[in-house]
Amino acid sequence: MPYDRPAAPEPLARVEEFCNSARFLYDEDAWADLPDAREWLVAHAGAAAAAELDDDGLPGLLELREAIRDHLEGSNAAHVHDVLNAHAERSLRPPRWNRDGTLRLPPADGSALGEFAGDLLASLAVEELAGRRDRLKVCASPDCRWVFYDRSPGNKGVWCSMRTCGARHKMRAMRERRSGESAGA
């Protein structure tokens, strides 16, 4: 596996893990079909959530995954926010404060699958409000789009891995410079 960054800290690790259920660079997607998606859910959200997923619900969760990824990338497309808002409306209750004073957005009462989606969105929202979400990024390679947590001191990381996407970008840039030099000669 070329992805050599450590996982994001909780609760962002769940968001990262959900988004990375697809490895676009290797044409792999744990949500490619219903049996695979259920297997992923059993391992990451529990058997109850997996049992609730059906052919009608699968496209909605795929849409949520990609909307989260697009949001992390900084997309301001209305569709992205519409998807996030629709899922939040269905799966979250109003904010609550724990006895220790920490804020939480509880999942709406209902299905295990709704609680899974609500937990992801609540984690994302609370971490954004706390100013910690900005380190969760999407690889700048359009072929990859792996979600990673940037631990660099300046928060300037753009590649999931310098050994794969970073190196490929540097090689591509070098080839373009060389071809430009030879064309100008």
For the chain, what are the domain ranges? 12-137
Poorest-pLDDT segment among 85-89, 99-103, 137-141: 99-103
pLDDT of the residue at 15: 97
- According to the model, what pLDDT value does residue 38 have? 98
Q: What are phi and psi of 46, to 5 degrees?
A: 105, 160
Kind of pairing, strands 103-104 and 28-29?
unpaired
Q: What is the pLDDT of residues 101-112, one digit of tens each?
A: 988 888 887 899
pLDDT of residue 182: 66
Q: Would you say residue 88 has pLDDT above 50? A: yes
Topology classification of domain 12-137: Jann2411-like fold (1.10.3300)
Amino acid 1: pLDDT: 45
CA distance 164 to 166: 6
| Across 41-50, 80-89, 163-172, least confident range | 163-172
Rounded to an integer, the average pLDDT of 32-48 is 97
Lowest mean pLDDT among 8-22, 28-42, 98-112: 98-112
User: What CA–CA distances, in Å, run from 86 to 77, 89, 90, 130, 177?
Assistant: 15, 5, 6, 22, 46
Listed in sequence order, the DSSP H helices in the chain are: 12-19, 34-44, 47-52, 58-73, 78-91, 112-129, 167-184
Q: Name the one residue in this structure whose structure tokens are 């391992």.
A: 43
